[in-house]
Amino acid sequence: MNLGKLQIVGHTRKEEIYHDEKSDALYIDTSPFTGNKLSAVLIKKSKVIETLNVTTIESDLNEQYV
């Protein structure tokens, strides 16, 4: 659903940050909990200015989930 402005979506895992142009939704959940990476975006006036990624450090994960 396109709301006429950029939507930032979490809790929908993707390998990389993904922009769905049809709905103008930016998916930023890149599965840090499962060992991929933590991602974030800097937004200004509904435009992505910068993307940030930090690889998950295995020792930061709770052992019961690894």
pLDDT in tens, 26-65: 999 999 989 999 999 999 999 999 999 999 998 888 766 5
Q: 8-30 pLDDT, tens per residue?
A: 999 999 999 999 999 999 999 99
Long-range contact set of residues 18-27: C-beta below 8 Å, sequence gap at least 24? 19/48
* Radius of gyration, CA atoms only, the chain: 13
> What was the pLDDT predicted at 65?
54
| Tally: H helices and E strands in the chain | 0, 5
Query: Could you tell me the two tokens for 1?
Result: 């659903």
Regarding pTM above 0.75, the answer is yes
- CA 48/CA 50 separation, integer angstroms: 6
